[in-house]
């Protein structure tokens, strides 16, 4: 499989299970499934810049490990969801 095919497959492997329609009190979240693992993607605008972090969770969004496994500062929820594979930290991604 070449890099372009792998990139396309990774984008297809992301399933958004639930996404808040709009921020509530500066926080917007999504529960996604990616390559067999569930993640909670949480975005906050409460700080001086946007911050979106990714945590492992179950299919209901209950976090199993509060050690962030993706995301970063100056990122929106849409930024992370649109390129999820590249915003996961490699040590936190079971598929690497």
CB 13 within 8 A of CB 35: yes
pLDDT of residue 69: 94
pLDDT in tens, 40-94: 999 999 888 899 999 999 999 999 999 999 999 999 999 999 999 999 986 544 4
- pTM for the full model? 0.81
User: 35: helix, coil or strand?
Assistant: coil
Q: What are the residues whose beta carbons fall under 8 Å from the beta carbon of 38, sequence distance 6 or more? A: 17, 31, 32, 56, 57, 58, 59, 61
13 has pLDDT over 60:
yes
Query: Using a CB cutoff of 8 Å and minimum separation of 24, what contacts does 59-68 make?
Result: 59/17, 59/31, 59/33, 60/31, 61/18, 61/29, 61/31, 67/92, 68/92
Total number of domains constituting the chain: 1
The pLDDT value given to residue 95? 46
Structure confidence at residue 12 (pLDDT):
66
What is the extent of the structural domain holding 29? Answer: 3-92
């Amino acid at each position: 499989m070449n890099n372009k095919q792998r990139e396309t497959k990774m984008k297809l492997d992301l399933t958004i299970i639930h996404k808040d329609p709009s921020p509530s009190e500066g926080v917007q979240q999504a529960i996604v499934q990616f390559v067999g693992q569930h993640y909670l993607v949480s975005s906050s605008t409460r700080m001086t810049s946007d911050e979106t972090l990714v945590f492992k969770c179950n299919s209901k969004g209950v976090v199993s490990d509060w050690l962030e496994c993706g995301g970063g500062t100056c990122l929106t929820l849409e930024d992370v969801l649109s390129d999820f594979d590249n915003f996961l930290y490699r040590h936190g991604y079971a598929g690497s």
